[in-house]
Amino acid sequence: MTKFNELNLNPKVLKAIEEAGYEAPTPIQEGAIPPALEGRDVLGIAQTGTGKTASFTLPMITLLARGRARARMPRSLVLCPTRELAAQVAENFDTYSKHLKLTKALLIGGVSFKEQDALIDRGVDVLIATPGRLLDHFERGKLLLTGVQIMVVDEADRMLDMGFIPDIERIFSLTPFTRQTLFFSATMASEIERITDTFLSAPARVEVARQATASETIEQGVVVLKGGRRDREASAKRKVLRALIDSEGDKCTNAIIFCNRKTDVDICAKSLKKYGYDAAAIHGDLDQSQRTRTLDGFRDGSLRLLVASDVAARGLDVPSVSHVFNFDVPGHPEDYVHRIGRTGRAGRDGKAITICSGRDEKALLAIEKLIQKEIPRLENPLKEEPETEAQKPEKKSKPADTKKADNRKADSKKNDRTKDKEPRGRGRRDDRGPAVVGMGDHLPSFIALSFDERRTG
């Protein structure tokens, strides 16, 4: 088995790796680090949770160990789709570069421009940024990208989902043609292939797993709720979620609960807290300081349940997440793989359970088609199903004789009311019976006669 000391990394980087407790590289690290150290472009394709972050930070730190940054001209650039992933990359950089005098800056939303400008003005070796904030600094004239030697694009498929591809293309055009590019993605959509063909030069392709596959260390299951009233569906799912958490008992040391919508994230978190569960919400509408506090609490174990939108599905490195619960079936099959990839990381065992309502079964089938396996169906822990249309109490029907009697009574009352009222409109009245209504003053006699015959016949 290959060891890190066989990969030609800087001795000070190797010392930091050893102090972090790692000995052997993961497959993506073993495949990507050697060509990256040679200065080649790298296209890395691997499922989430396989150690992609270290596969570019380690060679990048080694290559940057010699040299010095200039003001407003970073020597390397790492682009990440979310603030959380950018912060994680920054943590990795701090961990592995602690014995080297390299500087970094983190450009993400929710942090003041003034603080970030001060770091850039002093000069940084590594600039870690989200695309939008990076372009904000560039357009304000506070940043130059002409000194970038190494450019990294992390979670490119997530960039595509979030609509960042035009920004990525623009950023590529602002960097030198001679730069080295390290490009990582879990899946390879046609749009991503177009970008790699355009901006990467003869890249070393490192693919360590079939695209969009779930780790074999993750035990998967789904609880399918049949039927049920739509207005009570969310409440029924929350009840099932609580029962699933309880049924896992002490095995569920911590868990991430994924919802499709931000409003459902808040509602689900409040509901869990109401029933005495240690839970908190995280999604894109929360300010950065609150998101950071929540994540820190989840990482240090003071928070047990993290209710999240897909902003937390990519890149969050919490190695010991025991469970993932999908409160909603994700609309995009690839998101399922990234969600459940939050558990079972670094070779650990994990468990992922999805709650599927009847109308989400089509999305569930799409997921099974993508991962090329059937997800085992689990028994509803409540031992009951939500009320279906067939289970609703039927109205008691009256016997046929009773119905006829009621109809006769109704007709009799109707006739009585008709007799008491004067007929509406214009008509003719004579001693042969009630007036013929609605025929006008010049009613032909043969028509009136036909009415009379019908009445007396």
pLDDT bracket for residue 160 (50, 70, 90):
confident
Average of per-residue pLDDT across 6-21: 93
- Between CA 294 and CA 307 the distance in angstroms is 10
Domains, in order of start, for the chain = 4-207 (3.40.50.300), 218-371 (3.40.50.300), 407-456 (no CATH)
pLDDT bracket for residue 427 (50, 70, 90):
very low
**127 closest CA partner among 173, 167, 80, 170:** 80
128 token code pair? 């870690």
pLDDT bracket for residue 394 (50, 70, 90):
very low
C-alpha dist (Å) from residue 250 to 254, 304, 322: 9, 12, 10
User: Which residue type does 186 have?
Assistant: A
pLDDT bracket for residue 390 (50, 70, 90):
very low
Q: What percent of the chain is modeled with pLDDT above 70?
A: 79
* Lowest pLDDT segment from 43-52, 157-166, 274-283, 326-335: 43-52
- Between CA 351 and CA 325 the distance in angstroms is 9
Residue of higher predicted confidence among 273 and 431: 273
By the 8 A CB rule, do 10 and 100 touch?
yes
- Return the pLDDT at 425: 45
Q: What percent of the chain is modeled with pLDDT above 90?
A: 48
Average of per-residue pLDDT across 30-40: 95
* Lowest pLDDT segment from 236-245, 267-276, 342-351: 342-351
What mean pLDDT is reported for the chain? Answer: 83
- Return the pLDDT at 447: 60
